[in-house]
Amino acid sequence: MEGVLTGTERFALRQGDADDLLQELPAESVDLVITSPPYWGLRSYEADHNWDILDEWRAEHPASEIPSYEWYRSHGGLLGLEPLPEWYVANLAAILRRCQRVLKSTGSMWLNLGDTYFARWSSIRAKGRQGLNGDERQRRKTPMGGFRQEKQLLLIPSRVAIAMQEHRWILRNDLIWYKPNVPPRPFDDRLGLTHEHFFHFVKRPKEGRAKYFYSLEDVGAPHDVQQVNVVPGRDSHSASFPPKLIEPRILSSCPPDGVVLDPFSGVGTALEVSVSLGRRAIGFDLNKRFLSAAKKRLGRIAPPLF
């Protein structure tokens, strides 16, 4: 992928694991990483997963230890379907740490994450959100212990953000995305969960304070709570970015003609918005069907890199 950012082409798509593909990009080649990775315990995105992976790990290791992402993936594990939320936090932070090498010193990362309530038995679906839609589901038992207690809000976005800070990221904002049109759920003992987090990270410099590209005049509403409606999923992907949510992030955090990377690009909404705003875009995803949909959509506004 050494030549991926040369020439006049506007976008590139690659199928594969983000952990591998990030290592193939040139250093200091990306202006903005903007992404919404798989959330913990919700979907399989039609991929295979080893549902016995916790037993395999604990047969040879202490229960308190967390495997590396390399071990987890090589034993059939899928990001987002870790048997314990602690594994997910460690895996996601490890993958995103590879963005530090490819991100320019003036670059930013915008990371969108939603939270999850703990339940010993959870419904994992291929496409729809946990507990919704009528498609087939996988019933998984997750062991209790520590903060893993019934009805517990797990604070996974916060745990990921703290892990990122420990990996030398600087957290500049925790933007709260308020979703006013989220369908009501039949709970009578708590409030509805109608927000997600959108973290703004920059690279920690070797010395001094972080300096990075930022256009304040393009941020839209200049506060850290944004109200944006959820949009319907596209091409059987039920977790698409609303363009209104990410347009200000791209305009304010990536210079014109800069390079935007989404390492979990899905059907390519972030890429499509980036290209339409005069930026170049690179997307990675495991799902061939999602990448095909993204290529068709992007092809309507710009020729591909290859």
- Can you give the pLDDT at residue 139? 76
- Can you give the pLDDT at residue 238? 53
Mean pLDDT, residues 27-56 = 93
Does pLDDT of 2 surpass 70? no
How far lies 141's CA from each of 50, 51, 52, 92, 200, in Å? 13, 10, 11, 22, 34
Residue 257: HSE in the Cβ half-sphere, 13 Å Cα cutoff: 4
Report the SS3 class of residue 283: strand
Does pLDDT of 129 surpass 50? no
Mean pLDDT, residues 257-267 = 96
- Can you give the pLDDT at residue 131? 42
Report the SS3 class of residue 12: strand
- Can you give the pLDDT at residue 118? 94
Nearest 5°: the CA angle 277, 279, 280 is 135
Query: Considering the chain, what percentage of its residues have pLDDT values greater than 70?
Result: 90
- Can you give the pLDDT at residue 237? 47
pLDDT per residue over 91-116, tens digit each?
999 999 999 999 999 999 999 999 99
Does pLDDT of 264 surpass 80? yes
- Can you give the pLDDT at residue 277? 96
DSSP secondary structure string for all residues of 113-135: E---B--SEEEEESSSPTT-SSS
The full length of the chain comes to 306
* 100-103 CB contacts, 8 Å cutoff, 24+ apart: 100/167, 100/168, 100/169, 100/203, 101/22, 101/27, 101/28, 102/22, 102/25, 102/26, 102/27, 102/28, 102/29, 102/30, 102/261, 103/28, 103/30, 103/31, 103/33, 103/203
- Per the prediction, the chain carries an average pLDDT of 90
Confidence tier at 50 by pLDDT (50, 70, 90):
very high
Torsional sign, CA 233, 236, 238, 242: negative
Query: Considering the chain, what percentage of its residues have pLDDT values greater than 90?
Result: 78
Does pLDDT of 179 surpass 90? yes
Q: Model's pTM, two decimal places?
A: 0.92
Mean pLDDT, residues 240-263 = 95
Mean pLDDT, residues 25-30 = 96
The amino acid present at 19, given as its one-letter code, is D
Residue, of 254 and 47, whose pLDDT is higher: 254
Does pLDDT of 305 surpass 50? no
pLDDT per residue over 52-73, tens digit each?
999 999 999 999 999 999 999 9
- Rounded CA-CA distance 43/36 in Å is 13
Helix axes 85-97, 156-166, angle to 10 degrees: 40
- Can you give the pLDDT at residue 6? 60
pLDDT per residue over 133-144, tens digit each?
455 667 788 999
- Can you give the pLDDT at residue 301? 82
Mean pLDDT, residues 177-183 = 93
Residue, of 5 and 23, whose pLDDT is higher: 23
- Can you give the pLDDT at residue 122? 80
- Can you give the pLDDT at residue 236? 52
- Rounded CA-CA distance 199/201 in Å is 6
